[in-house]
Amino acid sequence: MINNLILFVKGIIFWLIFLTSTVLLAPVLMALRIFGYKAAFLIAKFWAFLIIKSLQYICKIKYRIHGEIKDKKGVIFSKHQSTLETILFLLIVPNPIFIVKKELMYIPFFGWCLYLLNNISIDRSSGRLAFEKVVIQTKKIIEKGHTVILFPEGTRVAVGNKTKLKQGGVLMIKSLNLPVIPITHNAGKFWPKHGFIKYPGTIQIFIGNPISLENKTLDSFREEIESWMDSMSAQ
């Protein structure tokens, strides 16, 4: 009972820092965007640094990375369990750009910054047209030296659930002719989906070797990625 109360109070303190820093820094990011992407991204990275440090000191959540990103021109396929990993990726992925659903762009402050930082939005109601637009944008972004991040399961999935990649992400890789860099983690264990309380512990982040579609069927390619993610998630 007492432990839960302590976690609840820590959760309140953390969310106050999260909301205050977001509201204060978002206008700064928007203002600095007129000087270019790099100036705005520095603010985003500083915001992420504040949030992660708050999690470390207040909620006692740390992280450990296993492996490294070996192919800067690959597309990251990551498990999506909470908001936590998206914040972490701002710090640990070089020049990150996210592929996100269009609706996120309309969230005050947070969504506006997503848009200004050149993240790629997808209108899931537009079907094939949306797919082709995302492929074109992704090619251009990667050519500029960014690392594109996709959550290929299409939504947040609880810790322990089997990986099931959506066909759209696999088809995108085929169109781009690029390898996939798989990443899995257990962030949802400490920052659960829709969870107010944050639980102490160490997030384990596993970065795999690039997986190529070359000489593979789409099904075998997808199964290889799913199998790797599930095997590493079990550790």
Residue 234: which pLDDT band, with cuts at 50, 70 and 90?
A: low
**Beta-carbon-side half-sphere exposure of residue 60 (alpha carbons within 13 Å):** 6
pLDDT tops 80 at residue 53: yes
CB 41 within 8 A of CB 117: yes
Q: Would residue 179 count as lying in a domain?
A: yes
Q: What is the mean pLDDT of residues 105-110?
A: 89
Q: Would residue 71 count as lying in a domain?
A: yes
Q: Would residue 31 count as lying in a domain?
A: no
- Taking CA atoms, 133 is separated from 126, 136, 139, 172, in Å, by 10, 5, 10, 11
For residue 211, the 8-state DSSP code is B
Measured between alpha carbons, how far is 153 from 77 in angstroms, rounded to an integer?
Answer: 9
Length of the chain (residues): 235
- pLDDT one-digit tens code per residue, 6-25: 999 999 999 999 999 999 99
Q: Give the per-residue pLDDT at 220.
A: 95
Task: Assign residue 98 the CATH number of its domain.
Answer: 3.40.1130.10
Helices within 33-81 (DSSP H only):
37-57
Residue 135: give the domain boundaries.
62-233
- Its pTM stands at 0.94
Tokens of 112: 């506006």
Q: Give the per-residue pLDDT at 142.
A: 93
Q: Would residue 149 count as lying in a domain?
A: yes
From 230, 217, 208, 204, select the one nearest 173 (Cα to Cα). Answer: 217
CB 183 within 8 A of CB 205: yes
Q: Would residue 46 count as lying in a domain?
A: no
Q: What is the mean pLDDT of residues 100-124?
A: 90
Q: Would residue 20 count as lying in a domain?
A: no
pLDDT tops 80 at residue 143: yes
Q: Would residue 49 count as lying in a domain?
A: no
Helices within 117-216 (DSSP H only):
128-143, 167-176
Spell out the long-range contacts of 125-133 with Cβ–Cβ below 8 A and sequence spacing 24 or more.
131/168, 131/171, 131/172
- The DSSP H or E segment spanning 150 is strand 147-150
Q: Would residue 186 count as lying in a domain?
A: yes
Structural domain total, the chain? 1
Measured between alpha carbons, how far is 226 from 233 in angstroms, rounded to an integer?
Answer: 10
